[in-house]
Chains A and B, each alone.
Chain A
Amino acid sequence: MAIRIYVSRDAAAQALGADETAAALLAAAGADIELVRVGSRGMVWLEPLVEVTDAAGQRIAYGPVMAEQVTELLGAGLLQAAAHPLRLGRVEDMPYFAKQERLTFARVGIIDPVSVDEYVAHGGYEGLKRALTLDGATIVQEVTDSGLRGRGGAAFPTGIKWKTVLQQQTAQKYVVCNADEGDSGTFSDRMLMEGDPLCLVEGMTIAGVAVGATQGFIYLRSEYPHAQVALEQAIAAARSRGYLGRDVCGSGKAFDLEVRMGAGAYICGEETSLLESLEGNRAEVRYRPPLPAIKGLFGQPTVINNVISLASVPVILQRGAAHYRDFGMGRSRGTLPIQLAGNLLHGGLVEKAFGVTLRELLYDFGGGSASGRPIRAVQVGGPLGAYIPESQFDTPLDYEAFTAIGALVGHGGIVAFDDTVDMAHMARYAMEFCAAESCGKCTPCRIGSTRGVELMDRIIDGKEGQGGIDQLTDLCETMQHGSLCGLGGMTPFPVMSAVKHFAADFARKR
């Protein structure tokens, strides 16, 4: 019987040579193996990771395995899961993995991402099956009771959003997935869509059934071509098996899905500009009210949620609200797929209950900096997140705890910088990014960011004294309070946190 071997098809694994490794395995041992392309286990420093099924049926990992090492590894007994310096044992026994609490990412890296059979064999579609026995209000109550808050970053209670849409009396409603994961340092949406796309499909279907929407759109950023392929394959597979279409699982309820590609505009992560983009317009932010839940896509009531929010719904319906709510701390319930990025030895994906501290993430999981130098600053929550100094590394990952230190959890991306970082340069970059990505609708964001870049240039050139910092503070206050959305409104967070915690970098002679 052919030996099952698993190699990731995740974009990050491919970026490190997984395709070449897979091809080398097929070329050298194609007759003896059944090669399965899976999602990534999330240990990016070990990619390309190869898992071999041993005689006892256990999956034994080796990594990183480059294509040119395949012949030698096969000679050393790879197919028998024999000893080798690259042999890591079972992934589940590795501390990085064993210490996680994987609910949303339970299947990622384990199953063939586009096989409905494997998905169902691992608990997939149990949530939808249960949802189909409940009425809309009960499903919405279950999501509310789970404590799930929007994982895109705004942390608005998902159940409340759904309830508003449920209450609208219109012939057409929509479910929209915000898969415009533009924050630097974040890749959990991408990994989920590539590693377990059916989980997102199921979550959106449950949302549709709950609020009475029959059509869903996944708005995917154009930088994610691998995710597009996986999603299209998963949607086609689900449709062919009756999990999508006019009669979902024989329930008489209709729901179908379409992937729409973005076009390289960061602002589309903001939900109202995403809706404008889906409608075929310039992605300019809308005034609120009305909320998208009342007047959303094409003027109809619309559930719009982030990938991870929607992909957390199946497990909530499957195991019940209480199971999910029992993870976490304070008002941050459940788990968060955290992304360890930037200058870290062991970067990757860690799904943990809320409450884990930054220090645990950076050192226990991340292994400290990759460069071996001290970690000086971390940016949490993407380009609009604050820079956090070492003195605050004991802050637990919790929405309220982060707000209290003037930071944000956002989408759970953590970018580490060593002591070579120039924080005045990072503050300038934050303004430059805002200027490049501003939709242009409101003045504080459009003009403020451009003036901010100019001002930062003068500060960096040493042409400004304290007056320059005062002016920057003033400008940031205007942007924060006067901008229409979070882009202009939150660019001050990285800028002012850099000024506050790393003042020396702004006064330094260059």
Chain B
Amino acid sequence: MAEIDSEHTLTVDRILAAHAGRLGPLLPVLHDVQNQLGWIPSEAIAQIALGLNLSRADVHGVVSFYHHFRTHPVGRHIVQVCRAEACQAWNCQATEAHAQKRLGVDYGGTSADGCFTLEAAYCLGNCAAGPSVMVDGKLYGRVTPQRLDTVLDDWSKR
């Protein structure tokens, strides 16, 4: 158990117990595991497979299918930059380039200080006031490169 300690094992067990008897429990279980651990370690995949009577390949297949699920540890905060058409009409390319430059990473990467993990989003539903950025579920509109600095300065203290 290199990646996951016994406390995490207990957490996954607790989540599996909470969803026992539910129809189609796999996605709700994966959401809960990621919400509590921050990501989905391979040991958790094995544990979930055992708990739901699935093969590890089945669970791995589902985890790897969905963009939302992560199999690597992440930074303290998740920054999602929308790069869909409506935000492109607001020149989100500038915001995107600035985010990558400031954090020193491409999409999927975590800044060297461990503060931010950068992710691409394909529409955050804020298309009348783009470019849109979401940090840990908090949505921001009209995020120019300058505003992005203000937002990230604020979050880097948390």
- For the complex, is B76 an interface residue (Cβ under 8 Å from A)? no
Segment among A128-136, A181-189, A391-399 that sits at the interface with chain B: A181-189
Provide the residues of chain B in CB contact with A15, threshold 8 Å. Answer: 126, 129, 132, 139-141
Interface residues of B (CB under 8 A from A): 23-28, 30-31, 61-62, 65-69, 80, 84-90, 121-130, 132, 134, 137-142
Contact A11 B139 (CB under 8 A): yes
Bound-state CA distance A261–B84 (Å) is: 21
* Nearest residue, chain A, Cβ from B133: A15
Contact B129 A347 (CB under 8 A): yes
Interface residues of A (CB under 8 A from B): 11-12, 14-16, 44-45, 47, 181-187, 190, 222-226, 260-266, 277-283, 298, 339-344, 347-348, 379, 383, 413, 415-418, 421, 426, 429, 433, 436-437, 439
Provide the residues of chain B in CB contact with A264, threshold 8 Å. Answer: 66-68, 121
Contact B124 A341 (CB under 8 A): no
Bound-state CA distance A440–B74 (Å) is: 27
Provide the residues of chain B in CB contact with A426, threshold 8 Å. Answer: 85, 88
Which DSSP category, helix, strand, loop or mixed, fits chain A's interface? mixed
Contact B86 A185 (CB under 8 A): yes
Provide the residues of chain A in CB contact with B28, threshold 8 Å. Answer: 260-261
The 7 closest A-B pairs by CB, nearest first: A347-B128, A280-B26, A342-B89, A184-B84, A341-B127, A263-B66, A264-B68
Provide the residues of chain A in CB contact with B127, threshold 8 Å. Answer: 184-187, 339, 341-342, 347, 413, 415
Bound-state CA distance A14–B127 (Å) is: 14
Contact B86 A415 (CB under 8 A): yes
Bound-state CA distance A404–B24 (Å) is: 42
Provide the residues of chain B in CB contact with A44, threshold 8 Å. Answer: 128-129
Contact A184 B129 (CB under 8 A): no
Bound-state CA distance A15–B139 (Å) is: 5
Provide the residues of chain A in CB contact with B61, threshold 8 Å. Answer: 282
Q: Closest CB of chain A to B65's CB: distance in Å?
A: 4
Contact B125 A181 (CB under 8 A): yes
Given A223-B124, A278-B27, A283-B66; 10 other pairs, CB 8 A cutoff:
A12-B125, A15-B139, A184-B127, A186-B123, A222-B68, A261-B31, A263-B30, A341-B130, A413-B127, A426-B85
Bound-state CA distance A344–B26 (Å) is: 41
Q: Closest CB of chain A to B20's CB: distance in Å?
A: 14
Among A184, A279, A418, the residue within 8 A (CB) of B87 is: A184
Among B24, B26, B89, B141, the residue within 8 A (CB) of A16 is: B141
Assuming A343-B90, A383-B84, A415-B86, is B125 touching A223 (CB within 8 A)? yes
Provide the residues of chain B in CB contact with A184, threshold 8 Å. Answer: 84-87, 122-123, 127
Contact A342 B130 (CB under 8 A): yes
Q: Closest CB of chain B to A19's CB: distance in Å?
A: 9
Contact B69 A263 (CB under 8 A): yes
* Nearest residue, chain A, Cβ from B80: A223
Bound-state CA distance A417–B89 (Å) is: 5
Provide the residues of chain A in CB contact with B24, threshold 8 Å. Answer: 260, 278-280, 298
Bound-state CA distance A171–B147 (Å) is: 55
Provide the residues of chain A in CB contact with B140, threshold 8 Å. Answer: 15
Provide the residues of chain A in CB contact with B66, threshold 8 Å. Answer: 262-265, 283
Bound-state CA distance A383–B126 (Å) is: 15
Output the residue of A45, A260, A418 with the most chain B CB within 10 A: A260
